[in-house]
Amino acid sequence: MPSAISGAPAHCPYAAAPIRKATAHRAAPLGPLVLPPSARGALLTVGTGVVAVWALGGLYSSLGPALVRLVAPGTPPPAGGMVFFTVGAAAALTVWTLRRTAPGAAATGGCLAVIPSAALSLAALHGAGPLALFGGAALAGVAFGAVSQGALRLLLASLDERDRATTVAAYYVLSYLSMSLPAIAAGAATQHYGLRTACHAYAIGAAVLAAAAVAALTATRRRNAPRTTNALPR
């Protein structure tokens, strides 16, 4: 038995060699995924809106329970989880409702909904109570669903099938970074400056981004309108 055990290491490299050789043939270096040029303009146009709605979703998912306790200290613990449930339910309903709406209109309307959502959230911190907070969460869900519905359709409208995977990947990288990084920053700011101050900065930042997205979408629609008019048969 000892001789068999002592001889095992000598045979292991030879036994593993075919496996390593076969794996080397199968493995290929992954090159960088480049966003197609036709999608870059659309992503730049709607990107600030995507950042705004995903950041707002990150606020309610991370600090929603703490906001409920701050606004209404006597509420039961499950009420904190209901904030993000409200966001998700409103987003799902909005996606289904706007499935036949023009993507530009859906994205613009969603960005516009961010502004009253942020205002209601701030009003809740200034005495309006939990009803304003849940109203802001519902509007945040509407904004999330509308922008997600419109942005993806805008990005994929003029792409070949081979470019769609790269574009969707870029969209979701931007989306999840927009949700996670501001939420982490808000948590750190809460530790240093307090929840009220962090939420004020967060809500105002989301509203500013949404307003910038509305301006970009409106300008793009106006630029494209003459082309559409000229393309019509006379």
Radius of gyration of the chain (CA): 25
Q: Is residue 192 part of a domain?
A: yes
Give how far the C-alpha of residue 42 lies from the chain's centroid of Cα atoms, to the nearest Å.
Answer: 16
pLDDT at 102 over 80: yes
Cα separations in angstroms, 193 against 43, 127, 186: 34, 20, 10
Q: Domain of 180: which CATH number?
A: 1.20.1250.20
**Candidate from 17-26, 27-36, 137-146, 197-206 with smallest mean pLDDT:** 17-26
pLDDT at 173 over 50: yes
Query: Domain range spanning residue 119?
Result: 41-222
Tokens 């969460």 sit on residue:
137
What crossing angle do the helices spanning 130-156 and 78-97 adopt, rounded to 10°?
40
| Residues whose CB is less than 8 angstroms from the CB of residue 154 and which lie 6 or more positions away in sequence, other chains included | 42, 45, 46, 103, 104, 107
Q: What is the mean pLDDT of residues 132-151?
A: 96
pLDDT given for residue 153 in this prediction:
92
Task: Tell me how far apart the 2 most distant CA atoms of the chain are, in Å.
Answer: 94
Residue 18 resides in a domain: no
* Res. 80 pLDDT band, cuts 50 70 90: confident
Number of domains the chain is built from: 1
Is residue 172 assigned to a domain?
Answer: yes
Q: How does pLDDT run across 4-32, given as a tens digit for each residue?
A: 444 444 444 444 445 444 444 454 455 56
Distance of CA 194 to the CA centre of its chain: 25
Please indicate, yes or no, if residue 14 is contained in any of the structural domains: no
pLDDT score for 211? 96
Copy the structure tokens of residue 170: 């870029």
Q: Classify residue 131: in a domain, yes or no.
A: yes
- Rounded CA-CA distance 58/63 in Å is 8
Categorize the per-residue pLDDT at 42 as very low, low, confident or very high, splitting at 50, 70 and 90: confident
Specify if 109 maps to a domain. yes
Mean pLDDT of the chain: 84
